[in-house]
Chains A and B, each alone.
Chain A
């Protein structure tokens, strides 16, 4: 098991180095001047320019600059934002819980609806229910989520007035950040109505963000389940006279979940990409909105750092899923 762990873990090192190279070269590919881009200053005099070139280390050979950059990154120094002068890592860590909270709830919605829908569709194959689930999930999969988010706002916030349009909690509440997760913080604060307010702010963005993973999970569960239900051991279990619930719930589902777990892991990338759109629409103060704003402000250190950190998180989560896959499925662990 440990050997399997090491083998898989060592695979992410070249990918990580590749991403640092990509992010490093990003700043050198920007049309125009790297000094102006990195410092955010325009039209400076020659002396100031020369000092900045030296200060930013741009007068050294590229490979020296890269190793210097890599050294800083490995020590957690991702530079400073041009706009706020704050450390990029610091800003990221402050906003990251908001994105995690949103993504986690989105995934929860996706699983809570997607798994049962997929299982039922497989059990009731070729019925109206099956066609409906597949049709809805294909539509969800094709949905431009920024538009879907707007429709949700139009219906639930504007027409029905059930939920607020933007933010994480009502401005009347001033909660001390303990965990960074608003749902938990609002409970800890003990203020009446705070949790309700946080939840009502969260629900629409979570639905919007969870739609594509929901569609993917439902489709994947259905097809995995159909495959497993054809297996001999399912027929054997049925022949033994086990109840339908036991056959489906214990014998079939456990094996059908293996490919579904992989798909769930792959959705982390989808969630982070979707967060860019969802957070922008709902003014959700997470890293997606932060990145888009940084691009519009040409705050390149933030763009660089944000992309590097997001990519690293995705690689690490995919690794974790890979390892988990080995734990649930011994065949994978021993074959590699």
Chain B
């Protein structure tokens, strides 16, 4: 009885307690002083580890903030609230955060564009993109398998009618989806902007016209109509400079393929 049941238990428990004691003594003797300021900053940050601040993650940003080597307004997902709390904690002037949101530069819903082959492989954009740049007739468009949906922490992006669409009231602009998209279709834009070009096609106008009914054909009407020179055609696709755009919407009125969208 003793030797079969109690002795093994005693040996195991005894060794466990001994190991625990050694470790607790070691952790007290060899402890590393962590900065209290750093820990409290880390508690304020959202912990998404998105890297929008330009540091490796929330831990690294908190470290730099505690040293006083980083600005307090770099956390995009945290927004104004986080910036305010950090500024109060560090006793520095509060700076406004430029809130951002993701925007998917594709308009190619199922009715506007077609597939050039029937894809039965792994349902992921990255996998599909490896086969001849994806299943769509347009080489640049959204593949609609939702790699971006899977990576979003805020349930802010969804596939609607074959194209990813961002819900602006949920999106915090962390940019994780933008890094995930194999086509590089997702832009991180200022939340204040409301006029966007929903196309990323770099193909010539004629080719774009043949693949998608709502693609940018680089006709330059928007470029000419813009009163602020905010819209330019580069690589056969219109691009908006959000710093110059005054949200007048003249470009959207004139666009023959309706790929410039105004969102409230």
Question: Do A and B bind?
Answer: no
B: which residues have CB within 8 A of A? none
